[in-house]
Structure 1
Amino acid sequence: MNKILVAVDGSEYSIKALLKAKEIGSKFNSDITILNVIRPMQDYKYIHNKDFYKDMERSLLSQSRKLLEKQMLHFEDYPGKVEALYKRGDPANEVVKYAEEEGFDLVVMGSRGLGVFSRTLLGSVSDKVIHYIKTSVLVVK
């Protein structure tokens, strides 16, 4: 298992997924990529104020960078290569697309995220990824 992709959103479950990816990666000396996906502002059609829109874009980007920096701290003692990046788009679509384009051996993600339906058995993003990806997926609770 050479390459592991771990999708994070800052939720408790994504932190558990991150730590599980580190555990697995340590055993196989895998390269790990930490991915955060920023939902595009056009998904929020009710926003009509351009200045507010731009401020929100900057805020989301800043939050993503801070989240990724914080997650990288978990890997200071990791023996392999670790990188963190963000993408813009639908979270599930971007995880599937990136994992398949880059040839990851495993995708690790939390069972639920920060969405409004956090009490569902399986979050909508992880559910969608499982159904559309060709790569193996580990969903962490």
Structure 2
Amino acid sequence: MAAEAAAAERGRKVVVAIDESDVSLYALRWALDTLFIPWAAGAPDHHHERPTSSLSQLTHLTLLHVQQPFHTYFFPSGPGPAAALYTPTSIIDSVKKAQEENTNALFARALRVCEDRMVKAVTMVMEGDPKDMICHAAEQINPDLVVVGSRGLGKVKRALLGSVSDYCAHHVKCAVLIVKPPPTHTHK
């Protein structure tokens, strides 16, 4: 009991991996509404009174975004094995600036979702393969829980492309929550 009280006192650490997909923002919303705020913003709870200190104050939320690295390519510029042309610095700078702008826009959307639910969050950007970087971030942060969205790849696509959520479930050394989006209903 003393260990549980100490853990509750220090708060819980939660990492939510986000990207540009609607699935990841759905996972963030689901995590906030389910894990952080048992009384969703504006929703009355007739069975319990709101606590004086909300879960959002006792939980440390990190929003993690992993960027794909920009690979510099070499192109032949003439005959012979010694001739090569590299990607100009202006193109590299342009791509990095676009990545930074996309990341800032993504975090703005995600932080707005957190603010709407009165949850404070910190942001973290890593570069590399999302599967590996989420695992690496979990080792650095040592969270109690990592939340990832599931795109719902079919068996064939998952086998060919791999699944970030499946990989994290098997390699992250803490609890991993995979949030699936709600089924979409199509009218025929």
> Same fold by TM-score, threshold 0.5 exceeded?
yes
Q: Secondary structure at the match of 1:3?
A: strand
Q: State the superposition RMSD in angstroms.
A: 2.2
Q: Computing the radius of gyration over CA atoms, which structure comes out larger, 1 or 2?
A: 2
Match of 1:20 among 6, 10, 30: 30
Deviations 1:32-66 (A, max 9, x none): 11111111112x74784223232112111210111
Q: Counterparts of 1:13 and 1:45 in 2: how far apart (Å)? A: 32
Q: Distance in 1 between matches of 2:153 and 2:74?
A: 26
Picking from 75, 83, 92, the partner of 2:114 is 75
Structure with more relative contact order (C-alpha pairs < 8 Å, separation 6 or more): 1
Q: Does 1:120 align with 2:133?
A: no
Amino acid at match of 1:10: E
Q: Secondary structure at the match of 2:173?
A: coil
Identity of aligned residues (%): 30
Kindly report which structure 2 residues correspond to 1:55-134, keeping only aligned pairs within 5 A, or say none. 55-112=94-151, 119-120=153-154, 124-134=163-173
Structure 2 CA distance, aligned partners of 1:79 and 1:62?
25
**Structure 1 unmatched ranges of 5 or more:** 113-117
| Alignment-mate amino acid for residue 97 of structure 2 | R
Normalized against structure 1, the TM-score is what? 0.82
Long gaps (5+) in structure 2: 1-10, 39-54, 76-85, 181-188
What CA deviation, in whole Å up to 9, does each residue of 1:50-106 have, x standing for no partner? Answer: 232321121112101110111100111444431122111211111111112211111
Check if 1:4 corresponds to 2:14.
yes
Paired residue total: 135
Cα distance in 1 for residues equivalent to 2:18 and 2:73: 25
